[in-house]
Amino acid sequence: MNVEFLGTGGYHPDAHRHTTCVLLPDRGLCIDAGSAFFRAPERLAAHGVTELDLVLTHAHLDHVVGLTFPLAHIERGTLTAVRIHGRREKLDAVREHLFARDLFPVLPPCFTWHPLPEKESGTLPVAGGRLHFREQTHPGGSLGLRYEADGKRFVFCTDTAPLPGTADFAADADLFVHECNFPDGWEDLAERTGHSTLTPVLELARAARARRTLLVHVSPDAADPADPVGLGAATNPPPHVAVAVDGLRAEL
Ligand SMILES: [Zn+2]
Ligand SMILES: [Zn+2]
């Protein structure tokens, strides 16, 4: 299982990071379509893949704006199907608002819409594996995801406050990805916006005992883009934790 971090920033793109998009090219699976989604079709083509299952954690703009980007690839026939999975109300919001005539009037016919079961948490078959989803704490809601295939376990939790139960959800993952929108010291804003600061994320990483943990959805307003959440100054961070950057590839 290959995991490619196409976009690792939150909120808006900056000179270093595009917004959330993670691709498993050999599985034809993508999570979120932030501004980095423009990179997905070429990476799929490199693996000879023309169909995509796209799972949306939620429908905030920094996770869906890229859905308007792949028209040229669709016209050329190098991207022939995009099956979009998510909460029903999020899929409806994307169709009604992002693809409104006054915002972006071309809805590709190869997009199809697949609402998840209306449960707090659940499991369904996607892209040749099992996708587990779980509701998180974020304005309007968001989904934590765990994808299991070929005996590997990949966990992706973004746009959420640190949640009880996440360490269990991510237990023994081959790769655990969690958001860290803010460094320590921004707890008030993190709570108001439904995001996480460094210390509780490191505690989750420690408890989950994942083989590797990568932090994403870092703020574009960070003072140091090389260490946007202050990981270098953290006391005793688990050794397998790092901040992801655009272009990072992990093989599980
Ligand atoms: Zn976001
Ligand atoms: Zn969000």
Report whether pLDDT(11) > 90: yes
Are 78 and 45 in contact by the 8 Å Cβ rule? The answer is: yes
Distance 219 CA to ligand 1 centre (A): 10
pLDDT at 239: 86
Report every protein residue that has its C-beta within 5 angstroms of ion ligand 2.
60, 159
E strands, 27-104, are 29-31, 51-55, 81-86
pLDDT at 195: 98
Report whether pLDDT(215) > 90: yes
Count of beta carbons in the 10 Å neighbourhood of residue 70: 22
**168-193: average pLDDT:** 97
Which residues are CB-neighbours of 110 under 8 A, at least 6 positions away? Answer: 74, 79, 80, 81, 82
Distances in Å between the Cα of 234 and the Cα atoms of 75, 77, 100, 202 are 48, 48, 45, 9
Report the alpha-carbon distance of residue 164 to residue 117 in Å, rounded.
Answer: 22
Domain ranges of the chain: 2-251
**14-24: average pLDDT:** 97
Distance 162 CA to ligand 1 centre (A): 15
Count of beta carbons in the 10 Å neighbourhood of residue 236: 7
pLDDT at 77: 95
76-108 confidence digits (pLDDT tens): 999 999 999 999 999 999 999 999 999 999 999
Report the alpha-carbon distance of residue 5 to residue 17 in Å, rounded.
Answer: 10
Distance 159 CA to ligand 2 centre (A): 5
Report the alpha-carbon distance of residue 210 to residue 177 in Å, rounded.
Answer: 10
Task: With CA atoms as reference, report the closest residue to 147 among 131, 168, 123.
Answer: 131
Distance 77 CA to ligand 1 centre (A): 30
139-173 confidence digits (pLDDT tens): 999 999 999 999 999 999 999 999 999 999 999 99
| Chosen CATH of 2-251 out of 3.40.50.620, 3.30.1280.10, 3.60.15.10, 3.40.30.10 | 3.60.15.10
